[in-house]
A = this chain, B = another copy of it.
Amino acid sequence: MVTLAEVAQHAGVSASTVSYVLSGKRSISATTRTRVEQSIRELGYHPNAGARALASSRSNIIALMIPLRTDMYVPVMMEIAIAVATTARTHGYDVLLLTGEEGPDAVRRVTGSGLADAMILMDVQLDDERLPLLRDTDQPSVLIGLPADTTGLTCVDLDFRATGALCVEHLAMLGHRDIAVIGEAPAVYERHTGFAERTLDGLRTRSQELGMRLLHRPCEGGYDAMAVTLARILDERPSTTGFVVQNESAVEPLLALLRQQGRAVPEDVSVVGICPDQVATQASVRLTSVSIPAQEMGRHAVEQLVAKLDDRGSDEVVLIAPELTVRASTGPAPSHS
């Protein structure tokens, strides 16, 4: 293993000089710099992470807490995680993967041990038990998702309230009056996951304003659960012509079931998805949808965090504006004839 000292000796300078070449924290003459860089290359030197962390009390690691459960949005989580990892690297950080399993203890462990310089938390509950800890520590953190009380916190999320409103508006514009919402699994609402409740709020508020009728039904993903849910909806309100689907694993089952029942999409009923573009474009009917900007969220979160670590940036809530892409699954409401 090659050490700083060996590089210094090889280049004929002191260790501190090499360190300054590496960090750029003091000016170094061009000649010395190139000589040192040369030695580094020749010896194949890599700074030791532990030593660095100890001396500088900076680990250059960002912790990312992802949910353990896989009852929703797995590809989105994955995409966020990947975006976080790659963005972090461009800023010189690595990413430590924590699962929600340890819960608040993980926060304590990481902040206490200096394992990471900062944290990103996903799958935030409205009243998340990790939040007090985050407020107490001076370690920067960013939430992906929105808790009930955001004071003293930095958050990044899609504006799900606006997303709900947007879906309703689109259907309203096409003349639909009776709308059903296929929501996330019941467990998601029981956990009071922010995005689900906020979407619902946006849907409800806007539909009320526009004089539409809204039926919300949570739904486990999959074909069977969707069949039951759809039957209930059509039974309860047969005049339903518009669907908003927030559970991506219900999208394809819904389309299949509608087809099976002879309801044509978009001639008879319209369907709007809230899902990643990939799901929308790969569905059997290309889905009009509001996309979940997973990459953008991940990137944003890291950039907020890096700003904080550099003593720039402040606590703020960034809500990404939703964008609705019209595809083949929505059309004018059938006339009442």
Select A98's contact among B46, B77, B94, beta carbons within 8 Å. B94
- For window 281-335 of A, CB contacts with B under 8 Å fall at 281-284
B48, A283: Cβ atoms closer than 8 Å: no
Which bracket fits the contact residues of A? 35 or more
Q: Does A115 have its Cβ within 8 Å of any Cβ on chain B?
A: yes
Q: What is the CA–CA distance of A70 and B108 in the complex, to the nearest angstrom?
A: 33
Q: Which residues of B contact A96 (CB under 8 A)?
A: 61, 94-97
Cβ of A104 under 8 Å from chain B: no
Pair A253/B46 contact, Cβ less than 8 Å: no
Chain copies in the assembled complex = 2
Interface residues of A in 67-90 (CB under 8 A from B): 68, 70, 74-75, 77-79, 81-82, 85-86, 89
Cα distance, A163 to B256, chains bound together (Å): 30
Complex interface residues of chain A between 1 and 59 (CB less than 8 A to chain B):
44, 46-54, 57, 59
Query: Cβ of A99 < 8 Å from any Cβ of B?
Result: yes
**Is A267 located at the chain interface by the 8 A CB criterion?**
no
Q: A75-B75, A94-B97 are in contact. List 5 more A-B contacts (CB 8 A).
A: A53-B53, A74-B75, A86-B99, A94-B98, A222-B282
